[in-house]
Amino acid sequence: METCEKHIELYKELDKYIENLKGKKGVLINVLHKAQELFGWLPSEVQEYIAEKLNVSPSTVYGVVTFYNFFSTKPKGKNQVKICLGTACYVKGADRVMERFLSELGVSEGEVTKDGKFSVHGVRCLGACSMAPVVLIGEKDFYGKVTPDMVPKIIKKYKEGGE
């Protein structure tokens, strides 16, 4: 991960957060959450930095990061496209929706588009099975009964709306 001014700022903010937790026990998960919120994911440099700051071994940090699936060790796009691959969505063609997203964006699953705007991820049941197949973009944009033909239009919305 390149170190640029923006990243220096992010490290400073992380330092501040750690400073506020000084003296408290069991703060590793909180710090990792904060780091992921700041950086968008947890590159190994950031994990090592946290290990040093909290005086724990890098393998302890790595162990926690890989144990919980809400931590990510890969970069993610600005708009994370989460396609539900749970049973209800799968039987209604979620795999074809996934294929269309991947081919329209020219990426493989988990990869970030060159402009950094999108990454596509298969996820477990999103709890909206009656709307299957379901796609979630970001944290709150739900799309139900999605067909492959709807995919270009959905993508366009985020391309136009993004920077």
Q: How far is the CB of 137 from ligand FES (least distance, A)?
A: 14
| Interface stretch with ligand FES, choices 10-18, 71-79, 95-103, 121-129 (CB under 6 A) | 121-129
Closest CB to ligand FES among residues 17, 90: 90
**What is the rounded CA–CA span in Å between residue 151 and residue 99?**
10
Q: Is 150 in the site for ligand FES (CB under 6 A)?
A: no
**What is the rounded CA–CA span in Å between residue 55 and residue 124?**
35
The count of residues interacting with ligand FES (CB under 6 A) is 12
| Interface stretch with ligand FES, choices 106-114, 124-132, 135-143, 150-158 (CB under 6 A) | 124-132
Q: Closest residue to ligand FES, Cβ-based?
A: 86
| Interface stretch with ligand FES, choices 26-34, 69-77, 101-109, 123-131 (CB under 6 A) | 123-131
Tokens of 83: 């396609």
- Please choose, from the candidates 11, 2, 56, the residue with its C-alpha nearest in 3D space to the C-alpha of residue 29: 56
Closest CB to ligand FES among residues 61, 84: 84
Q: Is 44 in the site for ligand FES (CB under 6 A)?
A: no
If you write DSSP's letter for every residue of 82-121 in order, what string do you get? EEE-SHHHHHTTHHHHHHHHHHHHT--TTPBPTTSSEEEE
Within 56-95, the residues that bind ligand FES by CB under 6 A are: 84, 86-89
- Please choose, from the candidates 12, 14, 41, the residue with its C-alpha nearest in 3D space to the C-alpha of residue 28: 14
Tokens of 47: 């994990």
- Please choose, from the candidates 75, 80, 79, 82, the residue with its C-alpha nearest in 3D space to the C-alpha of residue 46: 75
Residues binding ligand FES (CB under 6 A): 84, 86-89, 125-129, 132, 134
